[in-house]
Structure 1
Amino acid sequence: MSGINEATVLPRVMIAAPSGRSGKTVVSLGLMRALRRCGLEVQPFKKGPDFIDPGWHAAAAGRTGRNLDRFFMPPDLLRHVLREASAGADVCVIEAAMGFYDGLDAQGSTSSAEIAKATGTPVILVLDVTRMTRTAGAVVMGMRDFDPDVRIAGVILNKVRGERQRSLVSEVIERMCGVPVVGAVSKDGCMGVPDRHLGLVTSAEAADRERMLDGMAAHVERCVDMDAVLSIARSASPVTGGAQGAPIALDGCRAVTRAAIGVMRDEAFSFYYPENLEALERAGAQLVFVDSMRDAMLPGNLDGLYIGGGFPEEFACRLAANADMRVSVRERIEGGMPVFAECGGLLYLGRTLTYRGRTHSMVGALGFDSVMCDAQRAHGYARGVATGAGWLSAGTVLIGHEHHHSTVVDLDPDSTFALSNERGRGVTGGCDGVCRKNVIAGYLHVNALASPDWAPSFVDAAARFHAAR
């Protein structure tokens, strides 16, 4: 692990854009895979609370994708995560989110620009130049001058229609803004990933994922000056500082095992921050991975169960068809096993899930039904304070985010909740974390870096259950 006051030489670059849907994800994926094909170790990062893009990043780069988020991490912890996760890497690629300066408020709190400034990372803008020539210079000049503490080090033009447009736009940007154009990506069918209501489909679901990523890399190699990108990355100043007493050190240390916690991880449930799983292990959990659709039942040695978010609605038929697993989960819950379920996991534990006019039986351990909606029901950061119900001690703070298109209906009127929300919608009326037996199930996707008491509390509950068996 790096020393707190050491300066670490870490080549890095942020791929950002003036707005969402500009193509920064596919350009980032193409760059990551192209750099990897050059023989470099590439560490990917995603700005903000996101599970899907980091999964694609990991597939492209061959290293675990990490998140950098100012709502979850103060600047010192951002730098700590950047340094520790990048051990052994030759270059880091950070994909920004939304518009580069967009945040929670007019000051741009939690924006990608804040991440770039806190980490001293040079920025390459991906600029969609559809139906644009000279105006592109005005956009880049505004992005460059809006915050003098940000370094816009290069531009990659996207969706370029031909040589004339490329030449004209490049001349304007370089002459008027003094920012080099390091690439001009032409429109191509390979530069796209299928998406759905929460964003891209997950990398695990893409049968032709490797072909897609190699196609993106080949197109980026043709259209982008890779040497110029690496030069920008290598111009980044050393990363200094770190998080004294950081809640998670990404150094592989493990505590003595105190309990076995199952993690339901498959195509239906794939939304897990790697830091959450590492935090559970550091608190003394042995993680046992479970497949909700292929395994017949939960392993007999489990002392707890973690069910993350994902797309249970897309796999509802298969989840319902695995009745033995649903019965196994319900019986373990009735027996008092501690469970923590987030969003998709919440839906799985209810009675039924209705999607596209079809209703599917779920576990039935919690007293409600759920319905998928066309419109987004919640999207944003969340903060809940434990009420004392369940295995979370009163006053424990959980911080994370919500992002879902579902709603809970026909909730049992005597339901209790583990969390009172200070921010976020929760399940109902500002409450989250439906509690029954030893289950806590809500819409909040907890982040262990921002919620250092979560993992120890969960493992403590599982250890107590183990001792009582």
Structure 2
Amino acid sequence: MRQHRIPRLVIGAPRGRSGKTTVTMAVLAALVHGYGLAVQPFKKGPDFIDPGWLTRVAGRPCRNLDGFLFSRRDIYRHFVRHSLDADLAVVEGAMGLFDGVDLEGSGSTAEIAKIIKAPVVLVVDATRMTRSVAALVQGFMHFDPQLHVAGVILNQVARARHERMLREAVRRYCGLPVLGVIPKGKRLTIPDRHLGLVPPGERDELLEVIPEIARVARECLDMEALLEVAGSAPPLEVPEDLAGRPAARPAGGPAIGVIRDRAFSFYYPENLEALEEAGARLVYIDALRDTVLPGVDALYIGGGFPEVLAPQLEANEGLRADIRRAVEEGLPVYAECGGLMYLGRRITWQGKSYRMCGALPYDVLMEDRPCGHGYEVVEVVGENPYFPVGGVIKGHEFHHSRLEGVGSGLRYAFRVLRGYGIDGRHDGLVYKNVLAAYNHLHALSVPSWARALVERAARRL
């Protein structure tokens, strides 16, 4: 194996809501727009919204790294593969640095950092804190001797005196550089709601925050020091099969429609790439504007916020009718979460009901609290178009909706081993060639999925 130097950083924090996403965006904005570097963003965990923002800032698709869904080998290969043509890689962590799925920290941001041998920059929310910052930072420095915490960014700093005390405490007791100080205020605020940040593509005016974040980065971050930390990462070995050019994608395969718009934006780039690598030609559809279903051999409907844009989805009666008709005619359809909601009869949210496709017999009711939140593991127990019975599928779910009035003509494909799914016991509704589930899968974790969908679509050619 040859070695390749990939300057890289992992941005972590003692806990969630410390400002990791906005700090990561600021670092990306400064590197891309200030230094003109090609920067590959990554996000730890099964997330769609944060990666959407990081993609917008970096100008490259953000990739997910997940220790529950992927093996250590796949994490390493995935990171190297997508960093080879970049000048630098930045990984945004999730939750607290050492928080994982168990007491050993499995799947934590720290575990990801160790797999890719990356230095960690710790973002500390310094609200109502002075000298205690040193005790906190020392704990993170020494908790895992195999992890390299290389510097600190102080967030929510009140005033000049507060900054001086924080800086001196970190210098005297920790011996670490302070790589940035972000004043308290709303200059880095991105709107959020029930599932986290609002996706960047939902409203154009949201993107106005990006130039402001770039300006704050120039004012508040020591970018030269951050570049030095990133450059201190050791070279990585490049597996032989990743060193050459990617294989050419086959042409002339089936057309798979992908509903991708402001209502449905939750797609891992690897899932779309896997479909293309399996031979599909992707046809993108806007459920808000396209009034007819184009001639496709299968349909993929990802997650998103159909409840937020339900009036516009309901108004597009032509597309809804076409999808309903295509389902009855046997069109292969794979739908996840928001897609599951869209295929039902109606969505009720904030006291109002909106008609959806009506392709499957159930209603969707939005709740104030999450009905399913976290990793989901299901066993395939029922016949379905895409997965053999007996298999186990890892994914994740995050939904505030539940189904009511599920019709007798549907059957379940999955038994829930971990998570909630549709009713705490089942997930994956099957009707003809449709499989609709709350479970979001990742193509790296379930490589057979893309091949199965493309093969089913190819039967209609």
Partner of 1:9: 5
Q: CA contact under 8 A between 1:262 and 1:287: conserved in structure 2?
A: yes
User: Match for 1:208 among 205, 209, 229?
Assistant: 205
Who is 1:102 aligned against? 99
Alignment match, 1:30 = 26
In the alignment, what sits opposite 2:85?
Answer: 88
- Which residue identity does 2:403 align to in structure 1? V
- For structure 2, the residue ranges without an aligned partner over 5 or more in a row are none
- Work out whether 1:310 is the aligned partner of 2:307: no
CA offset digits 1:238-283 (Å, max 9, x no partner): 12265979xxx99363134321100000000000000000111111
| Cα displacement (A) at 1:390 | 2.1
- Superposed CA deviations along residues 33-59 of structure 1, whole A, max 9, x for unmatched, are 111111111111100000111110011
The 5-angstrom pairing of residues 258-337 of structure 1 reads 258-300=253-295, 302-337=296-331
So what's the TM-score if we normalise by structure 2? 0.96
Deviation, 1:341, is: 0.2
Distance 1:66 1:147, change over 3 A: same
Task: Tell me whether 1:123 sits opposite 2:123 in the alignment.
Answer: no
Matched to 1:311, the amino acid is F
Task: Report deviation, 1:141.
Answer: 0.2
Q: CA 1:436–1:130 in structure 2 vs 1: closer, same or farther (change >3 Å)?
A: same
**Amino acid in the other structure paired with 2:431:** R
Q: Which amino acid aligns with 2:2?
A: E
The residue type paired with residue 436 of structure 2 is A
Conserved in 2, the CA contact under 8 Å of 1:396 and 1:453?
no
Q: 2:6–2:84: 8 Å Cα contact kept in structure 1? A: no
Aligned partner of 1:342 in structure 2 is 336
Distance 2:384 2:191 in 1: 40
What secondary structure does 1:428 align onto? Answer: coil
RMSD of Structure 2 on Structure 1 (CA):
1.7
> How many Å separate the matches in 1 of 2:125 and 2:207?
25
2:212 pairs with 1:218: no
| Shift in Å, 1:6 | 2.7
Please point out which of 445, 448, 452 is paired with 2:443.
448
Which ranges in structure 1 are unaligned for 5 or more consecutive residues? none
CA contact (8 A) 2:200 2:207 kept: no
Are the equivalent residues in 2 in contact too, given 1:80–1:243 (CA < 8 A)? no
Q: Which of these residues, 403, 406, 417, is aligned with residue 408 of structure 1?
A: 403
User: How many Å separate the matches in 1 of 2:203 and 2:19?
Assistant: 19
Equivalent residue for 1:194, pick from 187, 191, 194? 191
Instruction: Tell me, in whole angstroms, the C-alpha distance in 1 between the residues paired with 2:424 and 2:220.
Output: 51
1:350-377 CA distance string (max 9 Å, x none)? 1111000001111111111110100111
Shift of 1:426: 1.4
Once residues 181 and 248 of structure 2 are traced to their aligned partners in structure 1, the CA distance between those partners, rounded to angstroms, is 44
Per-residue deviation at 1:166?
Answer: 1.0
> What is the CA–CA distance in structure 1 between the aligned matches of 2:245 and 2:423, rounded to whole Å?
36
Structure 1 pair 360/76, CA: closer, same or farther in 2 (3 Å)?
A: same
Match of 2:375 in 1: 381
Q: TM-score by structure 1 length?
A: 0.95
User: Which AA in structure 2 matches 1:387?
Assistant: V
More moved, 222-231 vs 173-182: 173-182
User: How many Å separate the matches in 1 of 2:29 and 2:171?
Assistant: 27
Q: How far apart, CA to CA, are the structure 1 residues paired with 2:26 and 2:389?
A: 47
2:315, 2:203 → 1: CA distance? 23
Q: How far is the alpha carbon of 1:182 from its aligned partner?
A: 1.1
- 1:434 counterpart SS class: strand
Aligned to 1:54: 51
Task: Find the counterpart in structure 1 of residue 17 from structure 2.
Answer: 21
Query: Distance between the aligned counterparts of 1:274 and 1:427, measured in 2?
Result: 26
Map of 1:146-161 to 2, 5 A cutoff? Answer: 146-161=143-158
For 1:140, which of 125, 137, 146 is the aligned residue?
137
**Distance in 2, Cα, partners of 1:116 & 1:388:** 39
Aligned length: 459
Q: CA deviation at 1:211?
A: 2.8
